[in-house]
Structure 1
Amino acid sequence: MTFGLNAIRVGMASALAGALALSGALAAQADDATAETETISVAMVPSGFDSAVAEANGYRIVTDSDGQQRSVAVSPEAVRFEKSLAMSRTTWVEGPCGNSWINAVSRGNSKFISTGFVVPRPVIAKNWTVQVWGWSGMPSYWWGGASGSSWSSSWSFSMPGDGFANVLPGSNVVMNNGAVCASGSPGENFHS
């Protein structure tokens, strides 16, 4: 499976536009809340490689003499993708794994959460869980599957009182070159 650079850019732009639209909608709903909320963003960190994903996408995982692993493009499609990726301007994605984020807004018993990530490559698989900690229990929300290099989801629910929401440790993505990136587990208190 290969992805063109334009498709990646369109996916990134679409996810960013969606996140901005959601932020506006959440801000409008929480306009008269006493406390301001902000999106908490934390760097994602490399946590290994999935060699089956790498091979399926034209890459090979190699181990250097110092014991460090890396992914190497071996198919013509993967080599072309790497060249186009190197020439693209993705200055807003820092490091090898990008970042993950969460935003938690409360308006009385109505809670609004958005979460997502931005990484430098297409995502072949994600394992993403947000846990809500509050007086009425601990609901969790899970997502899986493929996505572009950026992804977000938003939802609302009812829960009395205050609480805290975070991306659980262990949440991760597997990119097209087999690299696995783990969320930095961003979290935020709900504000009423």
Structure 2
Amino acid sequence: MFNLILFGPPGSGKGTQSEKLIAKYGLKHLSTGDLLRSEIASQTPLGVEAKKIMDKGQLVPDEVVIGMISSALDANPNAKGFLFDGFPRTPAQAEALDKLLELKKTSIAVMLALNVSEEELVKRLMKRGETSGRSDDTNENVIRARIIEYRNKTAVVADYYYNFDKVVMVKGEGSVDDIFKSLSAEIDQRI
């Protein structure tokens, strides 16, 4: 089983590249946002618990998210592997994910981190904001604040995986196809 984390700041192209990687390698896409919505819609015990927490405006605890990931892994026993998107977001979540995967007799093979300059991120997100309907993509100050938040809180997850020599920085600027070729080359070396 081949598991990877696609990592990068808002606007780095994770969504675009995830779709292409999933299609090429037959990986199962694990987006924690999608999992939460699905568990809530299905009214599973975890979904009911998550909805109560979210309705109070609170973040869903790591244990609940890990439980949902565990359920998703169990529901896909024949998967070639998983592409993690939007998780882990903290070193504690990374540690919990590693422990869960160890229980399932697998692990994260690599974290592919898209490296994109702040100016390019701002440009991309402003352009996306013209068509996405997302208000957080239309205000440059909000965009820059999100990038700072990412650097301060989420980028430390890469530090966690650096300790295990699992992080590969991939140039996230250029054509979609060139970036995809770079990501694929890294995966092909490890599969």
TM-score range, shorter chain: under 0.3
What TM-score, normalized by structure 1, do the two folds share?
0.25
More helix by share: 2
Higher CA-based Rg: 1
What TM-score, normalized by structure 2, do the two folds share?
0.25
